[in-house]
Amino acid sequence: MTEPSHYRQAIDALPQLVWVAGPDGTLEYLNRRCAEYSGLPIDDLLGWDWGWVVHPSDLPETLEVWTASVRAGTPHQVEHRLRRHDGEYRWFLIRAEPVRDFDGNVVRWFGTCTDIDDSKRLMEQFRTTRLLFRGLVERNPDGEVLVGADGTVRYANPATARLLGLAVEELSGTDLWGSVHPDDRKDVTAWLELVLATPGERLAISTRFLLRDGNSSQVDVLATNLLPDPDVRALAVQFRQSPVPNNKP
């Protein structure tokens, strides 16, 4: 077996779709995986005849990015959907690197197409779920806050800001407990120590927070220590307006 045959056998064994293009971007070679995936003879995809296996919605950007890379001689990267032999489209990450001669001229392009469909769909599901959850939390009439062990606010919804008489951006990165009424701080400190000592338990306290106008707001606070949870690593704190009316400090 000749050395080039060894190379071709190795390239055909790769799980990726591998291709080689000339300096002008014309496809000259596709590995066996390309034929298996598309269900088409290799010759049907050479030259510039590969565009019809790209999803129609993705083709304009694909051609634009590839043409720009060929003209500039810069590495190519794009994501698009490729039609499988059964008609299903799957997402792929396409990368290509130029190979240059001693004078710096591009003589070949070596490219790969890596199937990212599963991770792409998973990320989209995660993004959709996150947006839905965030939307529900931000529309919640109760205050919802994520607080670090040191009291630093990592996230606060609009209801929290309204209850404490602040803007949301004013809360982020600040000490949540810094505006607790001075007369209530001892009780809040003891309550926080209990919250930190009992992960997973939901504990409540009613306390006053000083407002910007000098008044105080009586708020019912519920907190759960989720610091040990690797997905949260914070205290989950909920605020509710107490039926007790606002008082002067």
Q: How far apart are CA 47 and CA 45, in angstroms?
A: 7
- Do 139-241 and 3-120 have the same topology in CATH? yes
Secondary structure element (H or E) that encloses residue 212, with its range: none
Closest CA to 72 of 33, 100, 102, 39: 100
d(CA 206, CA 37): 63
Residue 182 confidence (pLDDT): 92
**Regarding the domain with residue range 139-241, which homologous superfamily does it belong to in the CATH classification?**
PAS domain (3.30.450.20)
Question: Strand 202-210 relative to strand 235-241: parallel, antiparallel, unpaired?
Answer: unpaired
R_g over Cα of the chain: 30
Structural domain boundaries in the chain: 3-120, 139-241
The whole-model pTM stands at 0.55
User: How high is the pLDDT of residue 7?
Assistant: 61
Q: Would you state the pLDDT for residue 137?
A: 67
pLDDT at site 1:
35
Taking the chain (249 residues) in runs of 10, the rounded mean pLDDT of each run is 56 80 92 90 85 92 94 94 94 94 93 91 75 70 88 88 83 89 94 94 93 86 92 90 60
Strand partners, 76: 96
Distance from C-alpha of 24 to C-alpha of 109, rounded to nearest angstrom: 9
Superfamily of structural domain 3-120: PAS domain (3.30.450.20)
